[in-house]
Amino acid sequence: MVTLNLAYTAPINPPSASPPLSLPQVWAGLQRKVRHAPEFVPLITECTVLSSTTDAETGNLKVVREVRFDSGKLVKEVCVHFAPCRVDFEQTDGSTISNIASMGADGELLLTYAFEWRHPGVEEGSEEARALEERSWKTAKMAVHGSIDTIRRLVKDGKI
C-alpha cells in the first residue's frame, strides 16, 4: 500500500486579489465547503449530509457526509471543525485531508491543504505510485486555489 503525504499552501490575498478576504470569511468558506462540496471541488457532483453533532467534550462540530465524485465513486467522510481555522475530512479508508487557514510571518493569510491519501493495492516505488503522486500534487494545487477563488466569489455574491 502507498500512502501519499503532501501539503500545498497559497497566499489568500496576493496583491491582485479583490476583495481581500479576512480570516472570518475564509473560516465561513471552509465551513460552507463541508455542506456544499460541489461549489468548491469540481470533481464532486453530490454532497449529502448524514448527520451533524457537536462533540460534548471538545465542542467541535462533526458533520458526517457522503460525496459522489464524477467517476461515480461514493465516499463517506467525517468532517471535524476546529474553529476558527481548520477542518479535517476523515475518510473510511483512513485517508485524511486537512484544510487550514493560517497566518504567515508577515501577517499574511495562507491556505494549506494537507493530504494523507491511502492507496491500497498500489506498490511503493511503482510507476503507478509515481503517477499518483504527480497527479496528487496537481490536485492539491488546484484544490487550494479553487477554494480561495470560490470563497472570494461567495463574498462578492454576498453569500459569505
Tell me the domain boundaries of the chain: 2-156
CB 132 within 8 A of CB 120: no
**For residue 86, pLDDT beyond 90:** yes
Task: Give strand pairing partners of 72.
Answer: none
Rounded to an integer, the average pLDDT of 150-157 is 98
pLDDT at 20 > cutoff 90: yes
What is the amino acid identity at position 133? E
Q: CA dihedral defined by 143, 146, 34, 85, rounded to 10 degrees?
A: 80
Instruction: Quote the longest CA-to-CA distance of the chain.
Output: 47
Per-residue pLDDT, averaged over 27-49, amounts to: 95
Arithmetic mean of pLDDT over the chain: 94
Percent of the chain scoring above 90 in pLDDT: 84
- What's the pLDDT score for residue 1? 85
- Reply yes or no on whether the pLDDT at 125 is more than 90: no
The correct answer on CATH 3.30.530.20 for the domain covering 2-156 is yes
Amino acid at the residue 73:
K
What's the whole-model pTM score?
0.92
Residues 104-119 have a mean pLDDT of 94
Cα gap 111→103, rounded to integer Å: 9
* Average pLDDT of span 121-148: 90
